[in-house]
Structure 1
Amino acid sequence: MKSTLKTLMLTAAVLAAPVMGNAQSSDAKLHYVLVSHAPDSDSWWNTVKNGIALAGEQMGVEVEYRNPPTGDLADMARIIEQTTASQPDGIITTLADFDVLSGPIKAAVAQGIDVIIMNSGSPAQAAEVGALMYVGQPEYDAGLAAGQRAKRDGIHSFLCVNHYISSPSSTERCQGFADGLGIELGNQMIDSGQDPSEIKNRVLAYLSANPTTEAVLTLGPTSADPTILALQENGLAGSIYFGTFDLGEEIVKGLKSGIIKWGIDQQPFLQAYLPVVVLTNYDRYGVLPGNNINSGPGFVTKDGLAKVEEFAGKFR
């Protein structure tokens, strides 16, 4: 990991432009807060927590993780406001819904708090709210790339299992996939909710009512894991084209067994780790990378599972 950090720091040094701003002494104890939109039940975010923990340890700074327990975005907006009032040295936050979250984020920037947008949102939205940069995967582009891949594989119809339909970035994944296929999204996206049993039942119901569906797209472990069970129950596991966003232990098992064709790795570890490194060096030395950082998409298939399987749910 030391060599990885050196590589990251060398890259930052090459790209960095010196900023003669309020650089702080390297002896100062810096405090950052990462605010996500994820509910407590979403295990995918454990990798994000591991990323900030490691970065905090390596950089010698304090990093907290805060989130709305149920994933309610209005609650998240309040958490950002409360975090701003506590005056941390920097805020790392998702931008799951621009309309709901842009106001609190702009208010933090107006109070002189450095902000980095990670995971959701876009580089353009990050610039609009006054953030230093964006680190993440453009969701529509990732969905588009996945749809284009599926089209090359001969797919013409699909089911998108959206377990977080209140988040616009989730819908962007489904819409991008449809556009990549060159078809209308229409009713091919379902609101599955987040209860595993309900997700499984809704997938079974959709595929029963639409037996000519050629592919299934899930948006992460929350929807992928119950969908695997649904396909095993109706006999379609391994025969229906199945792609998913994100990685997790059951997704890796699905890739290995051939149930899942590919997973899209947006590298959540880097989405959490890099902002802490960037903020620390910005505060200490006044240097800042000149570009936003796209952490994905990267397609993971059965052929490239060695490192993924070893670190799934921890760093992948």
Structure 2
Amino acid sequence: MNTPLPPQASPGSVRTAVLAAALCLLLAGCSGSGGSGLDTGADAADGAESGRTQVVLITHGGQGDSFWDLVQKGARAAAAKDGIDLTYASDSDPAKQAQLVREAVDDRVDGIAVTLAKPQAMKSPVADAKAAGIPVVGLNSGIDAWRAQGLLEYFGQDESLAGRAIGERLNAVKAKHALCVIHERGNVALEARCAGVKKTFTGQTEMLYVEGTDLDAVNAAVTAQLRQDPSIDEVVTLGAQFALTAVESVKATGSRAKVATFDLDKNLVKAVRDGNVQFAVDQQPYLQGYLAVDALWLYRTNGNVSGGGVAPVLTGPAFVTRKNVASVARFATAGTR
């Protein structure tokens, strides 16, 4: 199982959480990441007094998903370089994620980076940020929604394009029946991935919806599907930890299915190297976090807008196979890929 993230921020006030972290630092000498689950590059309250730029990164990441650890690492690296006080908060519930954005607006932060996994839920709070004069950039999810919602820039992978590329790869290995496992119903990025696979794959594409917050349940669902339909010869997952779970399901059922996946981490690198996973599509989450935070600094200090505000900055897809996995292994071991 991947290394879990720190506990996620509750939908309580971002301001309250940051002040609590500041009190913790003063009274107990604790580190910048406390029980609130907010990751701050430095004490945000002191930063506001000193005139340092305050940026909040708000995602839909669920607890225990190491993908978002990589996003945070990139964001923290950019914040450290730019002298930004960074706060991280997330909630997989779209209404609660939207509330986190509203609280950041109320706190009058200097910039917001946000994911648009459920774009409709984010429309109103993003509009509130714009009305307050707070620049907002998007990352990871929402490539088809960021311009309509008026975000300055977007950093991520074209999920439909990535899905179509996987479909073509499945054709190349002569697969006939693919099971595409969607671990969060309604997430536009995940839905686009499987839709892209189906568009180019000449065989049968079947969707399986699972509860991604419960890996045991994911394992049970994939195992049941493989037992029920032995014609499935390819399992496509949409996250590294789900690929490793699918490998267990394949072994448990004696299925002839191969496993391919979106996304990458150090455990997945080993699975590719060992031949347990055919390939992975790396969207470079570290880069997404880094670029999103750095973009806000560049906009505030120099008026720069990557992509001219009309084109996304693509961070993927990059295929990692057994042939080239060694070239990314050392970065994955360091926790940045």
Pick the TM interval, shorter chain: 0.7 to 0.9
1:312 & 1:229 partners in 2: Cα distance?
A: 22
Pick aligned residue for 1:268 from 281, 285, 294: 285
For residue 211 of structure 1, what is the aligned residue in structure 2? 230
Question: In terms of mean alpha carbon deviation, does 175-184 or 241-250 score higher?
Answer: 175-184
Once the two structures are superposed, the pairs formed by residues 250-265 of structure 1 within 5 Å of their partners are 250-265=267-282
Q: Is the 1:118–1:135 contact (alpha carbons within 8 Å) kept by the matching residues of 2?
A: yes
The residue identity in structure 2 corresponding to 1:272 is G
CA shift, 1:272, in A, is 0.5
CA shift, 1:28, in A, is 4.7
For residue 189 of structure 1, what is the aligned residue in structure 2? 207
For residue 136 of structure 2, what is the aligned residue in structure 1? 115
Q: State the secondary structure of the residue aligned to 2:108.
A: coil
Work out whether 1:72 is the aligned partner of 2:93.
yes
**Larger RCO (CA within 8 A; separation ≥ 6):** 1
CA deviation string 1:72-125 (max 9, x = no partner): 111111111111111111100000012111221122112111011100011x42
Structure 1 unaligned spans of 5+: 1-26
Work out whether 1:142 is the aligned partner of 2:162.
yes
For residue 67 of structure 2, what is the aligned residue in structure 1? 44
Work out whether 1:232 is the aligned partner of 2:251.
yes
Pick aligned residue for 1:301 from 296, 305, 321: 321
Work out whether 1:95 is the aligned partner of 2:116.
yes
CA deviation string 1:158-178 (max 9, x = no partner): 111111123122111111111
CA deviation string 1:121-166 (max 9, x = no partner): 11x4211111111110111111111111211221221111111123
Number of residue pairs matched?
283
Structure 2 unaligned spans of 5+: 1-49
Pick aligned residue for 1:59 from 82, 107, 129: 82
For residue 242 of structure 1, what is the aligned residue in structure 2? 259
TM-score between both structures, scaled by the size of structure 1: 0.85
1:35 & 1:197 partners in 2: Cα distance?
A: 28
Q: CA RMSD in A?
A: 1.7
1:225 & 1:270 partners in 2: Cα distance?
A: 23
Work out whether 1:285 is the aligned partner of 2:319.
no
CA deviation string 1:187-208 (max 9, x = no partner): x111121211111111110011
Q: Is the 1:90–1:115 contact (alpha carbons within 8 Å) kept by the matching residues of 2?
A: yes
Share of identical aligned residues, percent?
Answer: 31
1:142 & 1:39 partners in 2: Cα distance?
A: 23
Once the two structures are superposed, the pairs formed by residues 151-162 of structure 1 within 5 Å of their partners are 151-162=171-182
For residue 45 of structure 2, what is the aligned residue in structure 1? none
TM-score between both structures, scaled by the size of structure 2: 0.80
For residue 84 of structure 1, what is the aligned residue in structure 2? 105
